[in-house]
Structure 1
């Protein structure tokens, strides 16, 4: 889990976030402890069927693409975060009418961890507590919740 914070008081924010970890029995690591488990990527998602045509258009624009998927009529593009602007520009020039459903730079987990029913309540409490912290901007995790 990566907890992204923006603060004017490091001590207060660290204490609030640490409190969330302690009250839910989680362990807090030092900065960068789990960074290797996530890839910092630009992610674009939109309705479409022909991912090969999209990939070809991006390659013609010299955009580096890590992965492209098409699932249930939605194309998702994963690029290095440094390629965000190049990708967005290439997409808008090639497909001027394209409406992006997702357009962000985020941390994408490289592996998934299943959350069991017995841990689900504690995990939900943990996420709610982090959401209540004013300085927490984003929480990135690799948890897969049971359906």
Structure 2
């Protein structure tokens, strides 16, 4: 658990560094930085660590963070599943080698830029927690310029994901908050245009192992894939 917590801290800290570097180091004037800080606080990262990451990103002291760059990698997993990986790295060769190894060991292959990204579209997604009145949600979504919304099917943690254009994410997020909704996340997300249904247990097992292997790499920030899998198959492969 400590190792997993440390990895989460590192990923969120790198996101803060890059967000602070890409705009003003003040969260009030930098939406990306503000959302990164909110995620970090929700994960329990101490304020001192957050302040240090902002200072690194804004260049207040030499930390090597200037070498961090955002890179998107693409590949195929078992069953022909398309996979997008977003990474923050200071060494492209190391990151590519680590990714290639993870793909190869788990029945996939790292592809060239553009090989699967055409299957995805980047959108802004605001997540609202709790039971929500659809009439209120529809009214607020229209006011905020949302395109669509989708209910989260979870009895323990119900909610809804509201989708909009990338450039409208901040406006939608603020509109939903102003209208009293409990916003728990606002992020950019790659959404697949079509999905591959996985039904074979062996393919499912290899695919989930690959997803875990990619997610565990230090340089990887996010992994997105275009597959669907029944819950009982997920349980079976994890047994």
Per the normalisation by structure 1, the TM-score is: 0.83
Shift of 1:12: 0.7
Q: Distance in 2 between matches of 1:122 and 1:69?
A: 29
Residue of structure 2 in register with 1:17 after alignment: 99
125-134 vs 135-144, which deviates more?
125-134
Matched ranges for 1:55-70 at <5 A:
55-60=138-143, 63-70=144-151
Shift of 1:55: 2.9
The one-character-per-residue Cα deviations of 1:76-123 (angstroms, maximum 9, x if unpaired) are 21111211100011112222xx22244322112222212221212211
- Say if 1:101 and 1:93 are closer, same or farther in 2 by CA, change over 3 A: closer
**Deviating 4+ runs (over 4 angstroms):** 70-73
Residue of structure 2 in register with 1:83 after alignment: 168
More helix by share: 2
Structure 2: tracts of 5 or more residues without a match: 1-82, 233-239
Residue of structure 1 in register with 2:212 after alignment: 128
Residue of structure 2 in register with 1:100 after alignment: 183
What SS does structure 1 have at the residue aligned with 2:213?
A: helix
Residue of structure 2 in register with 1:27 after alignment: 109
Shift of 1:71: 6.0
Shift of 1:57: 2.8
Structure 1: tracts of 5 or more residues without a match: none
Per the normalisation by structure 2, the TM-score is: 0.54
Q: Distance in 1 between matches of 2:125 and 2:165?
A: 9
What SS does structure 2 have at the residue aligned with 1:30?
A: coil
Residue of structure 2 in register with 1:8 after alignment: 90
What SS does structure 1 have at the residue aligned with 2:191?
A: strand
Q: Distance in 2 between matches of 1:2 and 1:71?
A: 23
Q: Distance in 2 between matches of 1:22 and 1:103?
A: 33
50-59 vs 104-113, which deviates more?
50-59
